[in-house]
Structure 1
Amino acid sequence: MPEYIRSSLAALPASRIREVANAGLGRPDVLAFWFGESDEVTPAEVREAAAASLARGETFYAHNLGLPEVREALARYVSALHAPVGAERIAVTSAGVSALMVAAQLLLAAGDEVVAVVPVWPNIAAQPEILGARVKRVSLHPQQGAWKLDLQELLDAITPATRALLVNAPNNPTGWTLSRAEQQAILDHCRRTGTWIMADEVYERLWWGEGSEAGRAAPSFLDIAEPGDRLVVTQSFSKSFLMTGWRLGWLVLPGDPGGEVLAATGKLLEFNSSCAPVFVQRGALQALAMADDFVPGLVARLKAGRDTLLEGLQALPGIEVAPPPGGLYAFFRVEGQDDSLAFAKRLVAEHGLGLAPGSAFGAEGEGWLRWCFASKDLERLRLGVQRLAGALDL
């Protein structure tokens, strides 16, 4: 690494998901399940709303925090799923990953201690390290393919010296989801230690637990937190609205009568991206307007993909996998395949099957593979399982 580039970047690993994908991009024979997105395009109504905005010439800067009507719509959307939230607690960001980085910049400084529940999407744990914070990793534990939290282990790791807890639930890549009792215990403990909770809840609608049939969301810290609690929730339009390429997210900030948190967030947004594009926000406004009709159907289709993939994987000998309660992924282990990156590369090169290596999500995921089941074409998933079976000589 050249000396004029910060030394902390030298230890920052490149994306292993991209490393595998780059080996197969451009090959029409590869069945790609490595990225966390559906093979469905964004709904036509959303695309048309954005196109109409462009046709009106809405190509100029917007407010740092987002269009007022979008923030108000987001407040209504969040409030319908959780406790009431006002628009003064909403900030629109250019992508969910930007929401995560802005939250990190808002709360963390060099030398701060951060606790992260892992394995997890690598960006979440890397962002504090980019800022010079120290990340203490607390791992979930696999039991018959299902990943579980040792709650006491996590609480013991969070002390008054812990500036923030990073938790992604439902989790990428494992599908693990916090229970309400676990959330309450974590919130109570963080209140005592003065620790901020940075909750990535982008998969909250992609969940099949109690109440999901009625279109409810997975348990959220917003359900139990007081407005003044040290809680920042990051969200995205990517997953629940099929808008991965649109790059739009949002933050739910603490209630703050003086408006200091919101003002500081606006400053950070100015220095990061200035604002989200107006035409993208117009598309998001349409997505929110049709959420009650659209999202439940998407969740049902994803469940069909999940169940189809699991049926195929569970029929293969030597594979450890359990139904994920939330998210977009089956996280599974193949007996005898301990180098997930090498195995994933071999699957692409020799069998035309594109999966994400578990090591991309930290050492805790080594030996596992992530398969995105967000495919409307169920036969495509079945064909992928056949290719995996061929790779295992089954």
Structure 2
Amino acid sequence: MTEPDFRKPSAPDARDAVRALRPSQIREVANAGFGVENVLPFWFGESDRVTPQFIRDAASAALADGATFYTHNLGIAPLRAALASYVSALHGATSAGHVAVTSAGVNALMLAAQLVVGAGDRVVAVTPLWPNLVEIPKILGAHVDTVALDYGTQGWTLDLDRLLAALTPDTKLLMINSPNNPTGWVMTREQQRSVLEHCRRHGIWIVADEVYERLYYGDDAGSTRAAPSFLDLAARDERVICVNSFSKAWLMTGWRLGWIVAPAALMDDLGKLVEYNTSCAPSFVQQAGVAAVEQGGRFTQQLVADLKASRDHLVQALSAMPGVDVKAPAGAMYLFFSLPGAAKSLDLCKALVREAGLGLAPGSAFGPEGEGFVRWCYACDTARLDAGVERLQRYLGECGAR
């Protein structure tokens, strides 16, 4: 007779793939700021301005009308139609049948990965990169290889040949973010064309995170309303999934609303995934999204002008500081720059919070390729930036005097 096993059971744990995920170092720095008075927080990727009144009014009206029920998994028809028109105006003919509404851009990224990636698949990502894009495929059991951007006199640049060499026939998916968080790097149209043609030949999916597409300051920004997009080049039923969000162009970070443009053949299966993830985005939030898309053109145009002015102001101020190396990026809302002490960027950012009341994001939060740099979100007025620069200058001066 077998003796019963009375050994104490092991402690409950999440599965290995989840336990291995990187914790957010940005949150770690922010947590270090709790209890520190008068911290200037530039660590998160959002403006210090509230969502425009016309969008908030649309949500209030929808709530007053009772828009509190479930909707179609892929979104309410008016918002899908409005997004189809919006994308068509920017990137060419797009039907509502190629658009799905999601509960935030990060939810869209997870859904896109769940559509095409499984355990054992190989994924390639261009880094430094917002960690969600690198970690999401790992949750699904995929293996992620990275191709790092280079930093030099021209700022952040892509070695296209190195990326193409990494996109081998056994690659299932390329995850790419342009304009890029954290660097502000923008992929050129020619680079996108080369990558798209290469991925077509090898049957590689592209998930393009284009949430910063409207925050674009390139040389051709005066003649276009958005950064170069894979949607400009790809047919809508190719292996290209573009992810976007209401968070940046309309200052709706807390609303958690995004969308996907993808092949129509994926939509039924995407609807299943939405059902098993969130069921749908809230109805009144979606109606606020309709107002943003249909009425927000002038607001976004002014927002981009304000961001460019803040970018230029901060670049000029930081460039005057000894030991700081900073270049003006072509897109997004961040400066990703080097300064004394950034070789251990997490330690530096914690020290800046404690000793200077200045909240920046460590470069290591965006992968090992980001070490040696810090990220500063400049989506605020110049007076606030000046206060931050003063604190950084004082801190570096005190460090140099030690």
1:115 aligns with 2:119: no
Moved more, 311-320 or 288-297: 288-297
Identity in percent: 55
Report the CA distance between 1:210 and its aligned residue.
3.5
Which aligned pairs between 1:372-391 and structure 2 lie closer than 5 A?
372-375=377-380, 377-391=381-395
Q: 1:24 and 2:69 equivalent?
A: no
Q: Deviations over 1:202-247 (max 9, x none)?
A: 0000001144235510000000112231100000000000000000
Range with greater deviation from structure 2 (21-30 or 197-206): 21-30
Query: Take 2:11 and 2:373, find their aligned partners in 1: how far apart are those partners?
Result: 34
Q: Distance between the aligned counterparts of 2:211 and 2:322, measured in 1?
A: 33
1:335 Cα deviation from its structure 2 partner: 3.2
* Aligned equivalent of 1:329, options 328, 334, 359: 334
Gapped regions of structure 2 (runs ≥ 5): 1-9
Give a deviation string over 1:295-335, Cα, whole Å, max 9, x none.
11000011111111111110001011100100010000013
Say whether the 8 Å CA contact 1:145–1:320 is kept in structure 2.
no
Once the two structures are superposed, what CA deviation does each residue of 1:79-128 show, in whole Å capped at 9, x if it has no partner?
10001110000000000000000000001000000000001000011000
**Structure 2 residue matching 1:92: 3-state secondary structure:** strand
Q: Distance in 1 between matches of 2:365 and 2:208?
A: 21
User: Is the Cα–Cα contact under 8 Å of residues 84 and 95 in structure 2 kept in the other structure?
Assistant: yes
CA distance in 2, matches of 1:2, 1:186: 46
Determine if the alignment matches structure 1 residue 313 to structure 2 residue 322.
no
Secondary structure at the aligned position of 2:397 is classed as coil
Please tell me the residue identity of whatever aligns with 1:251: I
* Structure 2 residue matching 1:238: 3-state secondary structure: coil
Letter in 1 for 2:373: W
Runs of 4+ in 1 over 3 A off after TM superposition: 1-4, 25-28
2:252 corresponds to: 243
Matched residue, 2:282: 277
Q: Tell me if structure 2 keeps the 8 A contact 1:237–1:249.
A: yes
Partner of 2:396: 392
Q: Find the partner of 2:210 among 201, 206, 211.
A: 201
Q: Report the equivalent of 1:45.
A: 54
> What is the count of residue pairs matched by the alignment?
389
Distance 1:101 1:2, change over 3 A: farther
Residue in 1 aligned with 2:300? 295
Post-superposition CA distance 1:250-301 (Å, at most 9, x none):
00002x4xxx410000000000000000010111111111222111100001
| Contact in 2 for aligned 1:144/1:321 (Cα 8 Å) | no
Structure 1 vs Structure 2 CA RMSD:
1.3
In the alignment, is residue 124 of structure 1 matched against residue 133 of structure 2?
Answer: yes
Contact 1:145–1:332, Cα closer than 8 Å, also in 2: no
Match of 1:261 among 239, 259, 266: 266
CA contact (8 A) 1:169 1:204 kept: yes
Q: Could you say if the C-alpha distance between residues 286 and 2 of structure 1 is closer, same or farther in structure 2, counting changes exceeding 3 Å?
A: farther
Residue aligning to 2:167:
158
Instruction: Report if aligned partners of 2:175, 2:206 keep a CA contact under 8 Å in 1.
Output: yes
Question: Structure 1 CA distance, aligned partners of 2:40 and 2:53?
Answer: 25
Report the TM-score, using the length of structure 2 for normalisation. Answer: 0.95
Q: Is the 8 A contact 2:70 2:283 kept in 1?
A: yes
Give how far 1:22 is off.
1.1
